[in-house]
Structure 1
């Protein structure tokens, strides 16, 4: 069995054991929300409340509407199981012939680990707290936002008990919250009709509403609403970055710190750039003849809308990370391209951590193996990644990211891992465009203005073809390893440092320090964030000028 799956399974088995063992069993915990008594699950040294609705079901006429808060809880209920995830878009995974079995295991686990039972009625939160927490404990809070390319994912895939047990063990007890949010067309429908109705970026609005729920109710679980850190990975980290820049950079008291794994504020175009996907959904659902296509989409049967959505491009389609369903500039949640907002200083003045895996692009580059020439790659980049960019700009990118496999991703693997003539090159371009360049740009712009730390994960570098692939850092944190230690200390102290771990210096333009996680006997070292300096600098410039 895959190492990642095996370790996570062992962790789950351990926590299942402590839940049923007489040595660990204690009474089912309860909490009072408004006038309701909510019963959770006792699980060793922590208590869990799972599947608590934080907004009215976004069904019927509330489909494609802003999330509506629960007026009040006035009926007692049990919160002992995760709620269903929001509607998912199953990916189509291109598995090239001859791919090593180990690599296939990692590819499928990284993707299908996020696919869980789903329902349109999905807006729930989960809370994990130390078993001894009381309403007066005033513990810091970490809010987890899962990834999945805004297409897949759910809270049940992530065991918050691991994080809180780590915090307890390091004497920095905290409370963990996770939320579901609408995905695919249900959460990120984009068109002029959506813009005019003011209902864009619903998945982001769901996340924001869950944060408001935390402000209102987390003290009942023992949390301090003034000490909230938002934390995410992949699309969850992109989301964290967007929450930092929305609303003129005013976090509205919803959070005081941010932790981003594989994601920073990304270049995003206007919401009308999604018009083609909207029109396709309208056509596929039979709404094309309606005088109000948006209202028609609210009224079509769920299965009809879901089937239409499944026929749109996904993360592993040919266009890959130039994804179809994602946040866009809607004039409400996002008033401009996020990177332009960063340039304008529309950034929450809070400490933050941001970092990437070394080989972010490899997992997403199996669908483009038919690209074998420079001309084909140039056409691909101009069509999907940088529409409107002149040919000279694309040619400069090709010079900055040469075809030689020794310079491609997975990095530092020489001539190995070259699935096709352009695979490692495309993996390098995609990884930098979507992850590395936005991270470095964000850090450069905020250097000296707020406390920032940055990391690079080079673990699992020996996985064939993939290297230190996107999502590989999740084992480090949800496996309860050293990244989890840095995380929980940051949540409590607004500084990731503490005894027993390598000192992590801040990132500044004059000293761009990276805490680098490594395989082998030396698990971490401090390196400099200067790799591919010219190429990433040019990619930053291209990202600023040509949005999808």
Structure 2
């Protein structure tokens, strides 16, 4: 196909793209075309670095999704009352699940029907979330992004990436550090971005106009890509959009030794001279069962996860929040925001804690084991058991699922999501970053189904602002996203936007955009990033001093 020819996307023809010496065949869907399950790296070798895909030859069938990466199965906690049972039954039916595989380093490309190899359209690369243990690129609809971008006259190309998860992507131990094989999931993402840089022009994209976009673990991944390899982005992306995710103080990769040793024992590798090689050759089903038995985000320890990005000395050279504090971060424009009640979902696993004294001990042991007793006393002085101060926020005495439900949700949501995001954005301003924008989603607190009100604006609900169009919940964030991908400004050249989105600045108030509902209908309003200022400042100071996951104390840099 010459550069002057359009990609044939009418319903009468299957669209084709040339990659090296291969013809890649996708699906035509009228106004857009999709190329699914394209390998962006050689087939993954367990617990090994991703390798560049060899030159493409022959015919590549890109008409069906590739396999997601191996998922870590999880078990929902035992409900303590009928309301929790109803909540969990609803969530179980609404959260998608996937059957994964180790052979999963693939991506999906969605392009407008009018795209040609000479179009040089801006590109948005999507990293899915799922707590670094579940998730798949096909869970989010790239076609809705492309169709909306065409409708508002700002066409983009959407790329969704699958990357290794759980122990397969984030194995952690001294053995892993010594082998320089940490954070393989982040290495997969970086390899996918190199593929985009090399090949996206063949689909009509501009490799110099790539924006990263993700939610939850996907957003955390993007923030980590901004600081990875001492902030060397290889010029693979120029902007970022992060929903509910920022760098966390996760500590050294050796802090995962316990979970590594559990896998070694479960697979019969404890007597091997080289346990890492033994794990690499272990039976997949036995290894997978051992991985599934490790703690998940619905286990009692909640967001103290077994398999997460950690400091490995290669991808992450120091604790992520410390790198941010030192100004080691890509100086690019970005958008970052949170849901108001990030912690409610992750407090379902600890509803059997019914007393503040027990909650206090659990927070101390589970999240901040190196903090002093005085630190924890100060923390609980800022996060009291007054339900009017807890999460779901701004709901008064209502929605108290258990005696310490709103207190636990407030601490976990602010600790893992709100405080790191605020610190990240303020640090970006301090180090002369380009313009940045913030948002807060406070929707769904007035759910018609009473038991869902216990969850408030829970983690993940901001996705409905981005991917759902035409319904009562809105979808307005998507227009801002599309504008940002085109111009690195969420409101530049997009006249149909409903409200001005002021840039985040160094003023005391720090303006943000707020997604709300009024009488069940979506609304946009202005807000400021000064809510819970004292408590969140305290959390930031604690996390700068202590990693969130157990490990030896470390001298901190002021």
TM-score by length of 1: 0.93
User: Which SS does the other structure have where 2:71 is aligned?
Assistant: coil
Structure 1 range deviating more: 216-225 or 261-270: 261-270
Partner-residue secondary structure (3-state), 2:385: coil
Structure 1, unaligned stretches of length 5 or more?
1-22
Partner of 2:516: 518
CA shift, 1:375, in A, is: 2.2
- 1:32 is the counterpart of 2:18: yes
The separation in 2 between residues aligned to 1:100 and 1:191, in whole angstroms, is: 36
2 CA distance for matches of 1:307 and 1:100? 27
| Counterparts of 1:163 and 1:34, CA distance in 2 | 28
1:84 has 2:67 as partner: yes
CA contact 1:102–1:464 (8 Å) conserved in 2: no
What is the aligned partner in structure 2 of residue 326 from structure 1?
308
Aligned to 1:70: 53
Pair 1:49-2:35 in alignment: yes
C-alpha root-mean-square deviation of aligned residues, in Å? 1.4
Q: Report what 2:192 is aligned to.
A: 210
Is the Cα–Cα contact under 8 Å of residues 251 and 311 in structure 2 kept in the other structure?
yes
Partners of 1:170 and 1:395 in 2: CA distance = 52
**Secondary structure in 2 aligned to 1:464?**
helix
8 Å CA contact 2:109–2:157 kept in 1: the answer is yes
Mapped to 2, the partners of 1:240 and 1:319 lie a distance apart of 25
Could you tell me which residue of structure 2 aligns to residue 506 of structure 1?
503
Counterpart mapping for 1:253-402 below 5 A: 253-402=235-384
- 2:477 is aligned with 1:477: no
Per the TM alignment, residue 96 of structure 1 is displaced from its structure 2 partner at its CA by: 3.9
Of 445, 454, 458, the match for 2:438: 454
Distance in 2 (alpha carbons) for counterparts of 1:300 and 1:416: 51
Residue aligned with 1:217, SS? helix
Residue 265 of structure 1 and its aligned partner are, at CA, apart by 1.3
How far apart are the structure 1 equivalents of 2:183 and 2:333?
A: 25
The corresponding residue for 2:3 is none
Contact 2:76 2:88 (C-alpha < 8 Å) held by counterparts: no
Work out the CA distance in 1 between the residues paired with 2:215 and 2:70.
Answer: 19
SS at match of 1:365: helix
Aligned twin of 2:155: 173
Counterpart pick for 1:107 among 91, 96, 115: 91
Q: Is the 8 A contact 2:332 2:433 kept in 1?
A: no
1:290-325 alpha-carbon deviations (Å, 9 max, x no partner): 000000001111101101101100010001011111
TM-score (norm 2): 0.91
* Deviation, structure 1 residue 100: 7.0
Measured in 1, the distance between the counterparts of 2:445 and 2:541 equals: 29
Contact 1:179–1:207 (CA under 8 A) maintained in structure 2:
yes
Regions of 4+ moved over 3 Å? 100-106
Match of 1:14 in 2: none
1:523 partner SS: strand
CA contact (8 A) 1:183 1:203 kept: yes
Query: CA, structure 1 residues 522+121, in 2 after alignment: closer, same or farther (shift >3 Å)?
Result: closer
The structural deviation recorded for 1:249 is 1.8
State how far apart, in whole Å, the 1-side matches of 2:30 and 2:379 are.
53
- Whole-Å separation in 2 of the counterparts to 1:132 and 1:522: 32
Cα pair 1:37 1:75 within 8 Å, conserved: yes
Contact 1:107–1:363 (8 Å) recurs in 2:
no
Q: Which residue of 2 aligns with 1:10?
A: none
Pairing 1:215-226 to 2, within 5 Å after superposition:
215-226=197-208
Question: How many pairs does the alignment contain?
Answer: 521
